[in-house]
Amino acid sequence: MGKKISTENETASSSASTRVKNKVCILTGAASGIGRATAILFAREGAVLVISDVDEKGLKETVSLIKEGKERVTAVKCDVTKPTDVKKMIDEVVAKHSKIDVLIVNAGVVRVGPIETFPDEDYDLLINVNMKGTHYTCKYAIPYFKKQKSGSIITLTSVAAHIGQPNHANYCSTKAGVLGYTRALALDMAPYNVRVNSVSPGSTDTPMLQGDCMIEAKQRGVPYDVVKKEREKEGVIPHWADPTEIATCILFLATDDASYMTGSDLRVDGGWTAR
């Protein structure tokens, strides 16, 4: 149950399907974790892919891991907290390809800690990346989606949008905000034949979650492995997800297989919220 899937391209079948073949897809936060796995998967599935991140080194590493479809991938440095960066990237994609078929709003950060000592600068970062970054990425793409009257927007929320977690109030608030934003945007875009959905991952084996657990371990004065084992038991599938297990759900929402879905949220959480 819950077999892990490698993100390495060489393990994939050479006969992989191409469900997003020639679709113009923009993906933010592609330097690591879920974003990296999504980039690899979408490239393999035939997408014309523009990937972005503020982390240029990580972005280059992602490109180096793409074995199939690399010739259709463009990497762009973009800070989603800067509206000018986001608008420039989206305008240039449309200028080159004349459309956007899929927008994957994945860029995000996590900071945790008790409310009474939570640094203002950390909360500002959470709001600026998770909420405003989502808004800017959608804001500058929406005029094109409305004009072409087609497309799919996919945001990344979190299990933290649905439940509370100790020392996560600030992070949870931003992810709940993204969830609400996505649902409302789905209503706005329905008349234009544009679907808007979200994915809420549970514990996923990414540098972000590893860093989160390291911080928690330090705050509690316990070994990292203790926190990791606790997190693995949060779902009824007793291990962390591989990033590709989340990427496959993002891919589903991007395809015609999800043609009757909008305003929906896929909880890919190993059964965490089913308890």
Residue positions annotated with a catalytic role: 171
| Contact yes or no for 27/35 (Cβ under 8 A) | yes
Distances from the Cα of 9 to the Cα of 43, 65, 66, angstroms: 10, 7, 7
Q: What is the DSSP string of 50-65?
A: EEEES-HHHHHHHHHH
136 token code pair:
């800017």
Task: Give the count of beta carbons closer than 10 Å to the beta carbon of residue 201.
Answer: 28
Based on its alpha-carbon atoms, the radius of gyration of the chain, rounded to whole angstroms, reads 18
- Nearest alpha-carbon partner for 47 in 94, 108, 100: 100
- Measured in degrees and rounded to the nearest 5, phi and psi for residue 48 equal -90, 105
